[in-house]
Amino acid sequence: MASSSDTSSTAHTPENPESGSTPETSEKTGRRGQVRLRRAAVMAVPAAAIAATLAILTAEGALGVQFAISGMPFTVTATSMDGTGFEQFGNLDSMIENSPNQGDTGGQVLVVTSAIKEATLVKLCQSVDLGGINLVIRAGAAKGHPVTATDLTTDSTQMSGNAEFTEIEIGNDASTLDRANAKGNPGVFSQQAKTVHIDDLRQTNYATTAGIFKLPGLKLGFSDEAC
């Protein structure tokens, strides 16, 4: 969006001598306007990209389980989550070659993959630190209108909350899991359950995928505060 100063800088050009500005002043003003536009574009790209991702996620089967992660962790919280068909196993996520976010990881992050066949989340919040400001997504806050997802997977390095499982199995080979639509590698430790309920859910994630992801009351914006 153009500010009032942007509009005036367009008028003060050598082609408009009545403006009273010199070519030098016009050039400086034009440069300032270009800098402002570039800064606005840099901040707008992440928001546009995430909005587009959310739209894609609402199409069934649109995303695969594996993709190159950015290497930027993001926080996900919910006051409660209920799931039917739960699986959990160790995994390894990879960044693109020579990613600027790889640090000393070698471009790979050890994660815990949680897969849920059908999930319901109340008061979902997701935030990512863009360097001094957070891009925050909120949804499912209205009573009776939670966030819902099918074939939901999250790759996490941290998870906390108060959990309850039914018909849980611990110590499965990850390649034999059958409660949700995901499997790990042979020989990897895993667990699965018929249902899961978690209060005060908090995750540090590197990736999320879903077949269908519905976010009623979606709000996206920038904030000084993370989730």
pLDDT at 179 over 50: yes
pLDDT, one tens digit per residue, over 15-32 is: 444 445 555 545 544 544
208 Cβ contact partners less than 8 Å away, ≥ 6 residues apart: 76, 152, 153, 154, 155
Q: β-strand 74-94 against 124-129: which pairing, if any? A: antiparallel
Supply the DSSP symbol for 96: P
Burial of residue 30 (CB within 10 Å: 0-12, 13-18, 19+) is: middle
Per-residue confidence at 2, pLDDT binned at 50, 70, 90?
very low
Mean pLDDT of all residues in 119-123: 98
The angle at the Cα of 114, spanning 113 to 117, to the nearest 5 degrees, equals 135
Answer yes or no: are the C-beta atoms of 58 and 212 closer than 8 Å: yes
What per-residue confidence (pLDDT) applies to 22? Answer: 52
pLDDT at 118 over 90: yes
What per-residue confidence (pLDDT) applies to 57? Answer: 38
What per-residue confidence (pLDDT) applies to 122? Answer: 98
What's the token pair of residue 4? 């009032």
Q: Which of 54-63, 68-77, 146-155, 184-193 has the lowest mean pLDDT?
A: 54-63
Answer yes or no: are the C-beta atoms of 130 and 74 closer than 8 Å: no
Q: CB neighbours (10 Å) of residue 186?
A: 9
Q: Is 185 helix (H, G, I), strand (E, B) or coil?
A: coil
pLDDT exceeding 90 applies to what percent of the chain?
A: 69
Q: Pick from 4-8, 28-32, 50-54, 147-151 the range whose average pLDDT is largest.
A: 147-151
Q: CB neighbours (10 Å) of residue 136?
A: 19
Q: Which of 7-21, 147-161, 165-179 has the lowest mean pLDDT?
A: 7-21
pTM: 0.71
pLDDT, one tens digit per residue, over 73-107 is: 999 999 999 999 999 999 999 999 999 999 999 99
pLDDT at 141 over 60: yes
Q: Is 172 helix (H, G, I), strand (E, B) or coil?
A: strand
C-alpha pair distances (Å), 144 with each of 69, 81, 141, 189, 196: 33, 14, 9, 37, 20
Mean pLDDT across the chain: 81
What per-residue confidence (pLDDT) applies to 9? Answer: 42
What per-residue confidence (pLDDT) applies to 10? Answer: 43
